[in-house]
Amino acid sequence: MIKEFLTSRERVIKALNHQEPDRVPIDLGGFQTGIHKNAYKSLIDYLGINEEIEMLDPVQQIVKPGETILQKFNVDIRYITAHGPDSFRGGIEKNERNGRIWHDLKDEFGVVWSMPDDQMLYMDISHHPLANARTEDIAGYPFPDGSDRSRFTGVREAASKLRTETNYAISTGIGGVIYETCWYLRGLEQWYFDMLANPGFCEELMEQILKYWYNYYTGFMEAVGDLVDVVMIGDDIAGQEGPLYSPDFYRTVVKPRQKKLVQHIHSLTKAKIWYHTCGSCIEYIPDLIDIGVDIINPVQISAFNMDPVRLKKQFGDHIVFWGGGIDAQHILPFATPDHVREEVKKSIEAFKPGGGYIFNNVHNIQSGVPAENIIAMFEAAYEFGFYH
């Protein structure tokens, strides 16, 4: 007996509007809801699927899952991403340092991300271009031009094809990274010092980053704002135990700029705004609701005070939870498939009442997660996700 009676897009829209669809929508394939290339390779090998692996994000080593996997796991969302402008010459270079071969990637902001050839798990920042800058140096720094429309060439065509030829919900890739981009440029230790001793520097730099993203989304939504269902932005503002830095600094310096960006995006599209922060972010959920965020991800249920039942009861009428499917630190990588199924069932039962829930692992599926556990997770999400 077929239990589904909605298309993927209808299903997602209902969930985003806090209505109960036929089943909980399922996601896989984004920059924070994806899968590491090693885990993906193990998965398709286990399933006997032969396909060419396409990288989505070299920094996190995340792949773009093929349609065979997406359909097998009943995934309801597809992604549309922008690219670098015509003036930007990106790409990865191999360089030798200290007797090792490194894969180096310089992004548009001039930050260099590096990964050793003998590891190939993730890229970390190896060069912070504003590490030694003074406040007066910021105005002269060559920030990228967010208003360069060439970065959206072909994006509308791709989104239109998805909209007309499929029934999937459409989401953008991640962007709007106002706070974190600052410490990428500055260096985390120096940035923490700045927040305490040189807040003027922080505000000046954050204004430049806000300007970039404000202009970026003006062009992006001009291209696809009428076609996408979700716009993904994010900044990590919490860690395992709570806020990563002073809540006062967040509320006086970071939040107003996030609010300006969120309201700007809302003025350009009817799509829902999805916000990503890892960690125990429960203190900030009211702030995110206040600035206009519609969805929170990844809902790190293993972090302090992030119990699914409590989150749903306290905030379920006001924000959509996207993620939170299983403890990705302790259960998904190490438990048996049967244990994985039981944990997924518990999470879904906590989050799904009344709609307002999209299923995904907590963040990306990491290297080393057994294929059997990945399969068990998505099969359980489908089996236990039905409302009637």
Percent of the chain with pLDDT over 70: 99
Give the DSSP H or E segment for 97: strand 92-97
- Coil, strand or helix: which one is 306? coil
User: Hey, what are 324's tokens?
Assistant: 């939170």
pLDDT tens readout for residues 293-327: 999 999 999 999 999 999 999 999 999 999 999 99
- Per-residue confidence at 2, pLDDT binned at 50, 70, 90? low
pLDDT per residue as tens digits for the range 136-154: 999 999 999 999 999 999 9
- Three-state SS at 62: strand
> Tens of pLDDT along 248-294?
999 999 999 999 999 999 999 999 999 999 999 999 999 999 999 99
- The reported pLDDT for the residue numbered 1 is 52
Is the pLDDT reported for residue 128 higher than 60? yes
The model carries a pTM of: 0.96
Q: What is the pLDDT of residues 322-354, one digit of tens each?
A: 999 999 999 999 999 999 999 999 999 999 999
Q: What is the pLDDT of residue 3?
A: 87
Q: What is the rounded distance in angstroms from the CA atom of residue 218 to the CA atom of residue 196?
A: 33
Per-residue pLDDT, averaged over 158-174, amounts to 97
pLDDT digits 0-9 by tens, 44-54:
999 999 999 99
Q: Distances in Å between the alpha carbon of 280 and those of 65, 256, 297, 307, 322?
A: 29, 21, 11, 10, 15
Is 261 within 8 Å of 176 (Cβ atoms)? yes
Q: From the centroid of its chain, how far is CA 103?
A: 23
**pLDDT given at position 89:** 87
What is the Cα–Cα distance from 132 to 124, expressed in whole angstroms? Answer: 19
pLDDT at 351: 98
> How confident is residue 123, by pLDDT bands cut at 50, 70 and 90?
very high
pLDDT score for 154: 96
Residue 155: C-alpha distances to residues 32, 83, 128, 272 (Å): 20, 9, 30, 19
pLDDT at 238: 97
Complete domains list, the chain, with CATH: 8-86+133-384 (3.20.20.210)
Report CA torsion sign: 161, 66, 341, 302: negative
